[in-house]
């Protein structure tokens, strides 16, 4: 949900259709609702509704289509253009949508994206905090997550990984299995990515890190600091790399990197996921990690 031009279709095309940001300027306005089905992890299908934001459509969602739009919602993602001149109107529609959601899907999670953060000229954090406060005030008692995003950096992956994480029914079990797997490989960290979007599904890190920018993990045994943005940067880089592979008609399958202080192995885990194993122990052989991944496949499938 969100006003016309706020960037909903652009983010959908970037994350789910693997198009580059430069192509989004050509997208036309969405007419009514466009539905996408994205297969995620075996039988789990993400049913994504992109609701065109022009006033006439919004009015129809809130009246005649109200039950259709707001019934059985898992997550409502409301996109706000940070530079909008019509915040008053945006907030009015947002409040109406919130009421619709509370009526038909009271358990749905709510994510508010303050989008196009790249356009902000004042310090970004200040602008974001101000918007966040405004949105919190408009949300009353509703539990909301507010995230700043831009299609030109990794913040969009971070937000969408967060969103998808809340929809995965067995995320905690996945994390536990990844921790066992990390232990077996003597790995610092193991991360599971969805195959087409490269969004982070789960990781072996003790907290769902993942998903919190403020967090910087520092090992107690001399392991260097892990960058707080490592997951989103990886998603972004691998997707760009996959895009380059497809341009020369090659298919991306796996990746191994041996760097000065760590080794990274990225390989297929299941039909719908990739796993990335990060190792700081120089005595661990890449071949052994790849063998472990092969052996673990059946468990994760
Ligand atoms: P409707 O389909 O009418 O509801 O609009 P929409 O919300 O789907 O907007 P759309 O995705 O078509 O985006 C409108 C414009 O915003 C496009 O020209 C995009 O290139 C631009 N845009 C999207 N995301 C960003 C962003 O993060 N930063 C900047 N600067 N522009 C963006």
Q: What angle do CA 52, 56, 58 make, to 5 degrees?
A: 55
Say if the ipTM goes beyond 0.90. Answer: yes
State residue 224's pLDDT score.
57
Q: Where are the alpha helices (DSSP H) in 50-170?
A: 55-62, 66-70, 87-104, 124-139, 155-167
CATH topology of domain 171-300: Beta-Lactamase (3.30.450)
Query: Residue 163 C-alpha to ligand 1 middle, in angstroms?
Result: 19
State residue 252's pLDDT score.
78
Pocket probe for ligand 1: among 6, 7, 116, 121, the residue whose CB has the most ligand atoms within 8 Å is 7
Residue minimizing CA distance to atom 28 of ligand 1: 116
Residues of the chain with pLDDT under 70: 20-21, 24, 41-42, 206-225
- pLDDT (tens digit, 9 = 90+) per residue, 81-134? 998 888 889 999 999 999 999 999 999 999 999 999 999 888 888 989 999 999
Ligand 1 atom having least distance to the Cα of 156: 27
Element holding 179 (H helix, E strand): helix 171-185
State residue 98's pLDDT score.
94
Domain ranges of the chain: 8-152, 171-300
State residue 212's pLDDT score.
39
Residue minimizing CA distance to atom 21 of ligand 1: 7
Query: Which residues, in sequence order, are CB contacts of 154 under 8 Å at separation 6+?
Result: 229, 232, 233, 235, 236
Query: Residue 10 C-alpha to ligand 1 middle, in angstroms?
Result: 5
Copy the structure tokens of residue 83. 């530079």
State residue 210's pLDDT score.
39
Pick the CATH number of 8-152 from 3.20.20.140, 3.30.420.40, 3.10.20.30, 3.40.50.300: 3.40.50.300
Dist. CA 242–CA 252, nearest whole Å: 6
Residue minimizing CA distance to atom 13 of ligand 1: 7
Query: Residue 5 C-alpha to ligand 1 middle, in angstroms?
Result: 5
């Amino acid at each position: 949900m969100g006003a016309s031009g706020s960037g909903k279709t652009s983010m959908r095309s970037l994350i789910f259709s693997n198009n580059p940001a430069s192509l989004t300027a050509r997208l036309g306005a969405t007419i009514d609702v466009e539905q996408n089905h994205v297969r995620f992890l075996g039988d789990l299908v993400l049913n994504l509704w992109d609701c065109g934001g022009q006033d006439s459509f919004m009015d129809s969602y809130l009246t005649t289509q109200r039950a259709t739009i707001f019934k059985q919602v898992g997550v409502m993602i409301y996109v706000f253009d940070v530079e909008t001149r019509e915040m008053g109107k945006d907030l009015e529609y947002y409040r109406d949508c919130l009421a619709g959601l509370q009526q038909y899907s009271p358990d749905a999670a709510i994510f508010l994206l303050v989008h196009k953060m790249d356009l902000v000229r004042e310090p970004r954090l200040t602008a974001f905090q101000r918007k966040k406060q405004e949105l919190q005030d408009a949300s009353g008692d509703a539990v909301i997550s507010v995230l700043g995003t831009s299609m030109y950096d990794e913040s969009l992956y971070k937000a969408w990984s967060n969103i998808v994480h809340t929809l995965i029914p067995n995320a905690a079990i996945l994390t536990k299995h990844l921790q066992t797997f990390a232990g077996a490989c003597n790995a610092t960290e193991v991360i599971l990515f969805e195959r087409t979007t490269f969004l982070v599904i789960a990781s072996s890190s003790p907290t769902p890190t993942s998903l919190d920018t403020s967090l910087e993990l520092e090992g107690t045994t001399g392991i260097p600091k892990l960058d707080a943005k490592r997951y989103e940067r990886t998603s972004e880089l691998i997707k760009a790399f996959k895009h380059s592979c497809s341009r020369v008609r090659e298919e991306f399958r796996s990746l191994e990197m041996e760097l000065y202080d760590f080794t990274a192995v990225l390989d297929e885990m299941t039909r719908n996921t990739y796993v990335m194993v990060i190792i700081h122990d120089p005595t661990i052989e890449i071949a052994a990690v790849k063998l472990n991944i092969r052996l673990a496949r059946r468990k994760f499938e």
